[in-house]
Structure 1
Amino acid sequence: MHDYKTNFQNAMQFGMNKAKLEWWRILIMGFLGGVYIAIAFYGFVKVTSLFSVITDGALSIRPEGRIAAAAVFPVGILFVLFLGAAVFNGDNLAFLGCLKKESKFRSLLLRWSIVLFANFLGGLVMAYVFHWAAAWNENDLLVIKGIIEGKLYNARGGEWHQIFFSSIVSNIVIVGAIWSSMASKNAVGKILIVWLPIFLLAIAGFNHIPVNLSIYTIGLAEFPTVAASNYGSMWAAIFIYNTLLPTLIGNWISGALILPSLYYVLVNFRSSKNKYIAKFCSLEYIHDGNITNAFCEPGEELNAQAETEAQKAIENKPFIFSLYDKIKNRKRKK
């Protein structure tokens, strides 16, 4: 099992790989990501529908239905991880490359825009595939209509900020799940690590931009059957501003800024005193010929960066090396 520092390096490599992908690869992987999330949402709706009860034209869902539906939804993220697709949320980790100055922020914005558009495109294609396949029954469409109305109400009646803060929590869960999965090298471990947080996300109903895009595209494909009451043909425009926009901003803030930045600071920054001690202690290893141990904290694994940092210590702080020799000679005299 990796500690958080080792797993941070895994996340850093994951993010930098994302930042280096060609635009057409991002487009294809993002399209596939949209397809997989749409399939997961299809399963979510189908299971929810099985536990639905219609009374006087109104749809109600039994409590166990929400649990069962939430248990199905993680399939989408698992497909993304194991089949090599991309969703906007996971690609937010590319910001780690920007923090390390390995990629430019402008380039990341372009890549995020491409993957977001590709997620939308994948969801749109699947929405019409479901429509042409007559994949939805009457209960399914009532469930979808209820979800759309609920999101519009939360955004307008419950105010815009509720969607926004829900989205911040959502991407902490999603990026946290993807990040945590890097600590495991076997498939079963990754499945368990991802499934539990995404199950939590689905049962809590937090807002996730690829899922909301799937809901939006299905609403477009099935209009006017699932048109939200009181909104008519305007529901699509209202949904963009009041649901998709705050979801996008909230997801980006937590997935690209909060988690990556906090862990970057936690792993990479030391106090000036600790830096001095680390450089001084590293010279003992250099002096004894064990240069790769330099700059390794207790319990840390050896890494290639240790040698580079130790060499810098000799070049930039020669007086420390002299001081080390003096101290060692005094000990010998005693």
Structure 2
Amino acid sequence: MSNFLTPAEIAQTAAAIGHDKAKQSWWKLLILGFLAGAFIALGFLVDIRVTASLPDSLASIKSLLGGAVFPVGLMLVVIAGAELLTGNMMTLPLALHAKKIGIGGLVYNWFWVLIGNLLGALFVAGVFGLGAHLLTEDPFKTTVIALATAKAKLPFGSTILSAIGCNWLVCLAVWMAYGAKDIGGKILAIWFPIMTFVAIGFQHVVANMFVLPAGLWVGAPISWGQIIVEWIGAFIGNAIGGWLFTATAYFLVYMRKAGDTTTG
């Protein structure tokens, strides 16, 4: 017996998961969303703690090393269990295309998960980043300020495009993890795509719910207005990457019936 699913089987599995997510009670989505936001923030926090002391002359090594540890966040989401907005930008649209849910179910899930993710990310930034002083002293303070400033000042269009690439890779990680039948396979499926997006420097809306407020709180020269605009751009791009480049693409290939010209 194979220890992994075929892409066509993954499509059916992901659509069924999307259906279940749309039916989940709001308070469970909020709790699981909080956990996912915290998990992703912890992944970003360990990235900063591991790479901040390396010199800029080793920028490529810093990116690779940060990418190597950041995936722990999504591993916790997928294996331990949590609700992550960016992954749901693939599963819910796929269920919608397959006519397993309506648009109301998608919006319902995204709304409560977004709120939970934001609360979880802010919790880690405030309690661990500031309260535990993990980001209040150099070189960690300087690093988080630089990261937050660069993200907040990235042009809006560039943020969207970067976020498309990010969630294309994140959703592929989730997609492949659904296809693995054992924990080792899920870890490998998650690690490579997430390492890639982090090393490239793509924009992830939930990760940025952590690093932008954390940077602001330790002195980054940015405003809440800039942060919100960045989040909006990252949300739009992440949604396109998850919905169009993953859910729609695989629905058309593996799930649409012959002669059916609709996608939702």
Decide: shared fold, TM above 0.5.
Answer: yes
Residue segments in structure 2 that go unaligned for 5+ positions in a row? 260-264
Matched, 1:194 2:214: no
CA distance, structure 2, for counterparts of residue 265 and residue 116 of structure 1: 27
Alignment of 1:1-334 (within 5 A): 1-52=4-55, 62-92=59-89, 93-130=91-128, 131-136=130-135, 137-155=137-155, 160-220=156-216, 222=217, 225-228=218-221, 231=222, 235-241=223-229, 243-271=230-258
Structure number with greater Rg is 1
Q: Deviations over 1:31-77 (max 9, x none)?
A: 00011111111101111212136xxxxxx764322211111100000
TM-score of the superposition, structure 1-length normalised? Answer: 0.72
Per the normalisation by structure 2, the TM-score is 0.90
Secondary structure of the residue aligned to 1:16 is helix
Contact 1:90/1:178 (8 A) holds in 2? yes
Letter in 1 for 2:48: V
Q: Read off the aligned partner of 2:75 and give its amino acid letter.
A: L
Decide whether aligned partners of structure 1 residues 153 and 91 sit closer, same or farther in structure 2, where only a CA change above 3 A counts. Answer: same
Residue 101 of structure 1 deviates from its aligned partner by 2.1
User: In the alignment, residue 226 of structure 1 is paired with which amino acid?
Assistant: G
> 1-side partners of 2:242 and 2:20: how far apart?
16
| Cα-to-partner distance string for 1:254-280 (whole Å, 9 max, x where unaligned) | 2123321221121233545xxxxxxxx
* 8 Å Cα contact 1:48/1:61 also seen in 2: no
Distance (Å, rounded) in 1 between the aligned partners of 2:169 and 2:39 = 19
**Residues in 2 aligned to 1:103 and 1:214: alpha-carbon distance in whole angstroms:** 31
Cα RMSD (Å): 1.7
2:101 partner SS: coil
8 Å CA contact 1:16–1:96 kept in 2: the answer is no
Task: Name structure 1 gaps, 5 residues minimum.
Answer: 54-59, 273-334
* Superimposed CA distance per residue, residues 150-173 of structure 1 (whole angstroms, 9 cap, x where no aligned partner): 113322xxxx21110111111110
Amino acid at match of 1:3: T
One-letter identity of the residue aligned with 1:134:
H
Return the structure number with greater relative CO, CA threshold 8 A, min gap 6: 2
Counterpart contact for 1:173–1:201, Cα < 8 Å: yes
Change (3 A) 1:85 1:268: closer
Identity, % of aligned pairs? 29
Partners of 2:232 and 2:111 in 1: CA distance = 13
Cα gap change, 1:128 to 1:271, in 2 (>3 Å): closer
Partners of 2:64 and 2:41 lie apart in 1 by 19
Q: Distance in 1 between matches of 2:106 and 2:258?
A: 30
**C-alpha deviation, 1:239, in angstroms:** 2.1
Instruction: Note closer, same or farther for the CA distance 1:271–1:32 as it changes in structure 2 (3 Å cut).
Output: closer
CA distance in 2, matches of 1:269, 1:239: 39
Question: Shift of the alpha carbon at 1:142?
Answer: 0.3
How many Å apart are 1:15 and its aligned residue? 1.3
